[in-house]
Amino acid sequence: MSTTTGQVIRCKAAVAWEAGKPLVIEEVEVAPPQKMEVRIKILFTSLCHTDVYFWEAKGQNPVFPRILGHEAGGVVESVGEGVTDLEPGDHVLPVFTGECKECAHCKSEESNMCDLLRINTDRGVMLHDQKSRFSINGNPIFHFVGTSTFSEYTVVHVGCLAKINPHAPLDKVCVLSCGISTGLGATLNVAKPKKGSSVAVFGLGAVGLAAAEGARISGASRIIGVDLNANRFELAKKFGVTEFVNPKDYKKPVQEVIAEMTNGGVDRSVECTGHVDAMISAFECVHDGWGVAVLVGVPHKDAVFKTNPMNLLNERTLKGTFFGNYKPRSDIPSVVEKYMNKELELEKFITHEVPFSEINKAFDLMHKGEGLRCIIRMDA
């Protein structure tokens, strides 16, 4: 048992005091884990768009002061009552959604949408007692999606922690906490392209490129990348994308362009933009008879998906996915193994690195649309 077990830990955390204002590194108190909770030491974290959305809080419920962050890798420091499958020293990836292993979703082979621990972006407290484990001089600082990884120590529900191979480098596999697993799983678990097939990927951000990586792993022979930003195309070549389409270069709808390129449509498509027009194109560009389209992007709250029902009657399938259909505790350890076996490449997603003290630089990079993932080193 470590000397900190059962004690409050004082450590550094990047606190978002107000919407859109730079994060401030503060000394915070982190309370011991309660029932079914685990306190972990974060070693590496990375920045994802979702952190930025909730930091800007435009159209979101503003919950401040808050500790953001949800893509990370860490080591268990201590466990609370009832936790039996993790112990101090275990290497873990926190995940913004969970797996209680007891609800109907967790018991279903087909779902990863746990009733108890499904993402809740409005909740800033722990489930057990509706209180925060973070404070500054006794004043609570709110949690974010149950992870709050922009802190040297954080407390997470055991159901939101994937126990992984201790030999896996946490500065690489931390990106599997969210976006990369989402895109990869959308292809491998949901679109399931056959070897030699054609796959269109809409949106070549980190999620879309992870979907392309999934298509590469599946042995797709044509991977067509679609993006409005031509700057993305050069980067995407490293991900096995074989052809590029910029909808801005054509007068006709992009689904028609793709149908012409592929003799009637692609076998699979994966939409990773969050824009409803791209969702419709991604569906309408799949081949009739067998084509499958998978929606990953999170749409505007008032968006409406419109298509002629004949497109479905003609034997096209439309699906959607949440976190690539992976169950965090049961499935993420095996995604880490794919990286360890050199089947999955992660290095190419990591384009920047900053010390924790310069975490705001990661936000600047994301604003400028530079790179894919910026790793934040907690010990620097």
The contact set with Zn ion (CB under 5 A) reads 100, 103, 106, 114, 116
Active site residue 285: no
Checking phi first, is residue 59 left (phi over 0); if not, alpha (psi -120 to 50) or beta? Answer: left
Report the site for ligand NAD in 288-327 (rule: CB under 6 A): 296-298, 321-323
Residues β-bridged to residue 63: none
In the chain, the DSSP E strands lie at 9-15, 24-30, 37-46, 71-79, 91-94, 134-136, 139-141, 153-157, 161-163, 198-202, 222-226, 243-245, 268-271, 292-295, 317-320, 350-355, 373-377
With CB under 6 A as the contact rule, the residue among 80, 98, 208, 240 that binds ligand NAD is 208
356 belongs to the binding site for ligand NAD (CB under 6 A)? no
CA distances from 329 to 41, 46, 188, 213, 322 (A): 18, 20, 18, 22, 15
* Strand, helix or coil for residue 30: strand
The site map against ligand NAD for 256-285 (x = CB under 6 A) is ----------------xxxx-xx-------
Active site residue 106: yes
Q: Which of 103, 128, 317, 337 is flagged as catalytic?
A: 103
Minimum distance, C-beta of residue 106 to Zn ion, in the bound complex (Å):
3
Active site residue 50: yes
- Contact criterion met (CB below 8 Å) for 87 and 1: no
Q: Which does 298 bind (CB under 5 to 8 A by kind): ligand NAD, Zn ion, none?
A: ligand NAD
Tokens found for residue 84:
């039996």
Tokens found for residue 358:
């310069």
List of residues 6+ apart from 23 with CB closer than 8 A: 14, 15, 16, 55, 68, 150, 359, 360, 363
The site map against ligand NAD for 212-241 (x = CB under 6 A) is --------------xxxx--x---------
Q: Which does 207 bind (CB under 5 to 8 A by kind): Zn ion, ligand NAD, none?
A: ligand NAD
Question: Pairing relation of β-strands 24-30 and 9-15?
Answer: antiparallel
- Contact criterion met (CB below 8 Å) for 155 and 269: no
Active site residue 345: no
Instruction: Name the residue nearer to ligand NAD (CB basis): 134 or 349.
Output: 349
With CB under 6 A as the contact rule, the residue among 204, 211, 266, 354 that binds ligand NAD is 204
Q: Which does 114 bind (CB under 5 to 8 A by kind): ligand NAD, Zn ion, none?
A: Zn ion
Instruction: Name the residue nearer to ligand NAD (CB basis): 176 or 204.
Output: 204
Instruction: Name the residue nearer to Zn ion (CB basis): 9 or 38.
Output: 38
Q: Which of 37, 39, 50, 374 is flagged as catalytic?
A: 50
Q: Count CA atoms closer than 13 A to 292's CA, side-chain side.
A: 14
* Cis peptide preceding 355, ω within 30 of 0: no
Instruction: Name the residue nearer to ligand NAD (CB basis): 184 or 296.
Output: 296
Q: Which does 374 bind (CB under 5 to 8 A by kind): ligand NAD, Zn ion, none?
A: none
Nearest residue to ligand NAD on Cβ basis: 205
Active site residue 71: yes
Q: Which of 114, 174, 285, 374 is flagged as catalytic?
A: 114
CA distance 295 to 286: 13
DSSP string, 146-183: TT--SBSEEEEEGGGEEE--TTS-HHHHGGGGTHHHHH
Binding site for ligand NAD (CB under 6 A): 49, 178-179, 182, 202-208, 226-229, 232, 247, 272-275, 277-278, 296-298, 321-323
Catalytic residues: 48-50, 70-71, 100, 103, 106, 114, 118, 178, 373
